[in-house]
Structure 1
Amino acid sequence: MREKIKQGPLTLFPIALLLSVLMLLPDETLRFLAYQRDNGQWWDAITAGWVHFELSHYLASLVGLLVMWLLFDEHLSPPPVWLMLAATALGSVLFEHWFAQPPFYAITVVENRGFSGALYGFFAWGSTLDILKRKPFGWTLLLLVIGKVMIEAFIGEPIVSFSSVDRVAVMGHLGGALSGVSLALLYSQLSKQQVIK
């Protein structure tokens, strides 16, 4: 029986390349692709999760991808992970849109961009799959990520930040993590029914 080829680099390299190409765009274009609450376009919800404010923000996302590869390599295969990242990026922006304003939040977030919501979704997705496969640290990882994003959503600011962005989209992080758990459960069900491999 042949051992399954590790697909982490094949899965994550195109994502890192996409983030890198987008980071090279002029700031005016990045603002155009970012979520703008007051002056946004329909595509903002799709594009905002893939563009960054600054170099440190972008580099933190690349490090996040590396960490996800190290933690969840066995779950990585291109189409499911790409779809999951697109869905958690979208879920993150939509959650930020719906809940980062009164009465849920004291300050209205007017601009959002960044891949961190998708990364929180990735972390929650991988942790949930670990739980479903009865991995020993799955629950620990999931409780850590859900606890962190819930506390941050409650206090309205990040516990730890690797960026100098003024207003971090903590509600988007929560939305990404909740999307990741939901998508892992759906992925598991579809895999059991052998709809996807």
Structure 2
Amino acid sequence: MCLVAQIPTLQPWLAWDRNAILQGEIWRILTGNLTHTNWAHLLMNALALLVISFIFRAHFNAKRYTALIIVLSIGIGGGIFATNMQWYAGLSGVLHGIFAWGAINDIRTKTKGGWLLFVGLIVKIIWEQIYGGSASSEALIGARVATEAHLIGALIGALSGFIYFFSSQQDTDKKHNYPN
């Protein structure tokens, strides 16, 4: 989907654009996460998606993974309205959300390193909120790093992870007849 969204005649119609969304082009709330500023941006995010998906592969099936990406995309696309951003393209907010969700599920399943990954993500997000995005990344993608999308994605991913954590805990309690 990201490759199709990168087609030069389609990309301008799919990127997150505040004014266009306010004029009724609401699909951009979802599709802005699929577009990228250039091919280097797309490649960087595609490689990150592969690595993150590999790290947390034990927690995903196709249905859960697809649902998480859709929830993150819509949440990020809607959440960006709370910022002063006018335009957004990229999958990095979704990547941060998947990472948060995966780290919380590592913690839930007592996978070694889960806490370290989650704390590392928190430190990265705080760093970006204080100091901004990486200058080298900005040079590579030809745009400002959307640290707001990283924060929103991480928050939605963490919230989704906690909801899944507690709902799966209740399912376990019911199977073992533990009181609620």
TM-score scaled to structure 1, two decimals?
0.77
Alpha-carbon separation, structure 2, partners of 1:33 and 1:113: 9
Q: What SS class does the counterpart of residue 177 from structure 1 fall into?
A: helix
Q: What SS class does the counterpart of residue 152 from structure 2 fall into?
A: helix
The C-alpha deviation readout for 1:143-190, integer Å capped at 9, x for no partner, is 111221222123333476273232221101110011111111222333
> Is 1:94–1:172's contact at 8 Å kept on the other side of the alignment?
no
| Structure 2: segments with no counterpart, 5+ residues | 172-180
Residue 56 in 1 paired to residue 37 in 2?
no
Which of these residues, 150, 156, 162, is aligned with residue 179 of structure 1? 156
Residue 79 in 1 paired to residue 63 in 2?
yes
Residue 32 in 1 paired to residue 13 in 2?
yes
> Is 1:86–1:118's contact at 8 Å kept on the other side of the alignment?
no
Q: How many residues align?
A: 167
> Is 1:118–1:176's contact at 8 Å kept on the other side of the alignment?
yes
> Is 2:5–2:14's contact at 8 Å kept on the other side of the alignment?
no
> Is 2:133–2:147's contact at 8 Å kept on the other side of the alignment?
yes
| Structure 1: segments with no counterpart, 5+ residues | 1-17, 102-108
Residue 157 in 1 paired to residue 168 in 2?
no
- Matched with 1:114 is 90
> Is 2:99–2:157's contact at 8 Å kept on the other side of the alignment?
yes
Pick closer, same or farther for the CA change 1:161–1:155 going to 2, 3 Å: same
Alpha-carbon separation, structure 1, partners of 2:114 and 2:165: 15
Which 4+ residue blocks in structure 1 deviate beyond 4 angstroms?
A: none
Percent of pairs identical after alignment? 28
Q: What SS class does the counterpart of residue 52 from structure 2 fall into?
A: helix
> Is 2:101–2:161's contact at 8 Å kept on the other side of the alignment?
yes
The C-alpha deviation readout for 1:111-167, integer Å capped at 9, x for no partner, is 101111101101111001001111221111011112212221233334762732322
- Of Structure 1 and Structure 2, which has the larger fraction of its residues in helix? 2
Pick closer, same or farther for the CA change 1:53–1:98 going to 2, 3 Å: same
Pick closer, same or farther for the CA change 1:159–1:120 going to 2, 3 Å: farther
> Is 2:72–2:94's contact at 8 Å kept on the other side of the alignment?
yes
